[in-house]
Amino acid sequence: MTSQGRDGGELDELDIEILSALSRNGRLGVRELARMLGRPASTISQRIRGLEKRGFIRGYTALIDYRRLGFDILALIMLNVEGSHIEDIERALAKEPNVRAVYDITGEFDVAVIALFRRVEELDRFIKRTLRNPYVKRSVTSIAFKAVKDEPNIDLGMALRSAKGYPPKDRG
């Protein structure tokens, strides 16, 4: 059995093991990954290239501790935006240097923004600048006191095991 990926085809158990291992440590080399998974390095290399080509792996990056750099304020900013301008506002917000994520959401608000700031004054300027846009009707901002969990990846193996159709068949 396979696990269906959105717009990228099917994933088998080896693909998922590779993704899980790389999500925990993106610096793993092909040989080390092959040794961990008990497979030939050529198979692992081919699978990684395929996962990259199909868009399951979007890139490799360092995980920065922004608090150590003085970005102590993590703000969750919820916005009500005039409907026909939601995507324009989202694109503009996504270009802001302090913005970590922009989400198009349902519910009471239209847009959720996660942003990091060094000082409250920077957050204040950001909010006021955002509210100057005539299509932004309302904002509610919360500041996170501490991160209980802040990981870029989920435990893929466990998440898929809890989903129907896991584990998938191995493609070899």
Separation of alpha carbons 94 and 88, rounded Å: 10
Give 169's DSSP letter. Answer: P
Q: What is the pLDDT of residues 100-129, one digit of tens each?
A: 999 999 999 999 999 999 999 999 999 999
Separation of alpha carbons 2 and 160, rounded Å: 11
Q: What is the pLDDT of residues 54-101, one digit of tens each?
A: 999 999 999 999 999 999 999 999 999 999 999 999 999 999 999 999
Domains, the chain: 3-61 (1.10.10.10), 66-144 (3.30.70.920)
Q: What is the pLDDT of residues 91-106, one digit of tens each?
A: 999 999 999 999 999 9
CB 126 within 8 A of CB 98: yes
Give 152's DSSP letter. Answer: S
Q: For residue 1, name the pLDDT band (cuts at 50, 70, 90).
A: very low
Residue 6 has pLDDT above 80, yes or no: no
Separation of alpha carbons 125 and 111, rounded Å: 19
Mean pLDDT of the chain: 91
CB 29 within 8 A of CB 21: no
Give 65's DSSP letter. Answer: -
Q: For residue 170, name the pLDDT band (cuts at 50, 70, 90).
A: low
What are 115's strand-pairing partners?
75, 99
